[in-house]
A and B are shown apart, each in its own frame.
Chain A
Amino acid sequence: MNGFSRLLAVLLLTLAAGHPAWSADAANGKRVYLADGCFACHGRAGQGGAMNYPAPPLAQTKLPLAVFRIILRTGPKDMPAYAENVLPDQDVADIHAFLLSLPGRRPTQDMPLLNQ
Chain B
Amino acid sequence: MSSKPDDLAGAGRRNFLKGVTATGAAALTPVLVAQAQTPQTAPAARTVALPNTAVETLPPPAEPVNQTSSGGDFMVDVLKTLDIDYLAMNCASSFRGLHEAVVNYAMNVKPEILTCPHEEIAVSMAQGYAKIEGKPMAVICHGTVGLQHASMGLYNAWCDRVPIYMMIGNIIEADKRGTAPEWAHSAIDPGGMVRDFVKWDDQPASLQHFAESAVRAYKVAMTAPMGPVLLSLDAELQENPISDRDHLRIPKYAPVVPPVGDSGAIAELAKLLVTAQNPVLICDRMARSASGMARLVELAEALQCAVVDLGGRMNFPSRHPLNQTFRRPAVVAQADVILAIEVNDLWGSINSFNDRIVRVNRPLYKPGTKIITLGSRDLYIKSNTQDFQRFNEVDLAIAGDGEGSLPALTEQVRRLLSAERKAALDARGRKLGEAHLALRESAKSDATIGWDASPISTARMCAELYAQIKDEDWSLVGTGININWPRRLWKMDQPHHWNGGSGGFGQGYNAPAAAGAALANKRHGRISVTIQSDGDLMYVPGTLWTAAHHRIPILYVMLNNRAYHQEYMYLQAMAARHGRGIANAHVGTTLTNPNIDFATVARGFGVYAEGPITDPKDLAVALKRAVAVVKRGEPALVDVVTDPR
Contact = CB atoms under 8 A, between A and B. Distances in A.
B467 A83 contact: no
A44 B464 contact: no
Given A49-B644, A78-B356, A114-B444, A41 B580 contact: no
A37 B577 contact: no
A2 B572 CA distance: 26
A102 B457 CA distance: 14
B396 interface: no
Given A48-B446, A114-B448, A43 B360 contact: no
B39 interface: no
Contacts of B362: 2
B449 A104 contact: yes
Interface string B554-585: 00000000000110111011011101111101
Contact of B583 (A36, A49, A112, A115): A36
Contacts of A80: 572-573, 575-577, 582
Contacts of A55: 645
Interface residues of A, number: 44
A40 B450 contact: no
Interface in B451-494: 451, 453, 455, 457, 459-460, 463-464, 466-467, 470, 484, 489-491
B457 A47 contact: yes
B359 to A, nearest CB: 10
B643 interface: yes
Contact of B450 (A2, A45, A77, A108): A45
Given A3-B360, A37-B585, A50 B466 contact: no
A51 interface: yes
Nearest to A50: B645
Interface in A29-74: 35-37, 39-41, 43-52, 55, 57, 59
Contact of B448 (A35, A40, A86, A111): A111
Contacts of B645: 41, 43, 48-50, 55
Top 9 closest pairs, chain A to chain B, by CB: A45-B450, A49-B645, A80-B576, A47-B449, A47-B450, A106-B448, A113-B463, A108-B444, A45-B453
A116 interface: yes
B445 interface: yes
B582 A43 contact: no
A19 B470 CA distance: 52
Nearest to B568: A40
Contacts of A85: 579
9 contacts: A2-B362, A37-B586, A52-B353, A52-B355, A80-B575, A82-B582, A86-B581, A105-B449, A113-B466
Contacts of B581: 86
A7 interface: no
A116 B356 CA distance: 40
Contacts of A2: 362
B354 interface: yes
A110 B464 CA distance: 15
A81 B569 CA distance: 13
A11 interface: no
Contact of A36 (B490, B566, B582): B582
A24 interface: no
A116 B486 CA distance: 12
Question: Which of B460, B566, B582 neighbours the largest number of chain A CB atoms within 10 Å of its CB?
Answer: B582
Given A41-B569, A48-B446, A77 B451 contact: no
A87 interface: yes
Given A40-B644, A85-B579, A108-B441, A78 B354 contact: yes
Interface of A: 2-3, 35-37, 39-41, 43-52, 55, 57, 59, 75, 77-78, 80-83, 85-87, 102-108, 111-116
Contact of B489 (A43, A47, A112, A114): A114
B447 interface: yes
B579 A83 contact: yes
Nearest to A48: B446
A40 B569 contact: yes
Interface in B617-645: 643-645
Contacts of A49: 643-645
A78 B577 CA distance: 11
A47 B445 CA distance: 10
B450 A44 contact: yes
A106 B445 CA distance: 7
B643 A82 contact: no
A106 B569 contact: no
A47 B441 contact: no
Contacts of A86: 575-576, 579-582
A40 B572 contact: yes
Given A78-B355, A86-B580, A114-B447, 13 more contacts: A37-B572, A40-B569, A41-B569, A47-B446, A47-B450, A51-B573, A52-B353, A80-B582, A83-B576, A86-B581, A102-B449, A108-B444, A114-B444
A82 B491 CA distance: 40
Contacts of A87: 582
Contacts of B467: 112-113, 116
A107 B521 CA distance: 37
A85 B579 CA distance: 7
Nearest to B491: A116
Contacts of B360: 3
B150 to A, nearest CB: 30
Contacts of A44: 450, 453, 455, 643
B360 to A, nearest CB: 7
Contacts of B356: 75, 78
Nearest to B464: A113
A78 B354 CA distance: 6
Contact of B565 (A35, A40, A48, A113): A40
A78 B450 CA distance: 24
B240 to A, nearest CB: 55
A52 to B, nearest CB: 6
A106 B451 contact: yes
Nearest to B581: A86
Contact of B449 (A40, A57, A77, A115): A57
B583 A35 contact: yes
B576 A108 contact: no
A43 B569 contact: no
B490 to A, nearest CB: 8
B439 to A, nearest CB: 12
A17 B460 CA distance: 42
A108 to B, nearest CB: 4
Nearest to A114: B444
Nearest to B470: A116
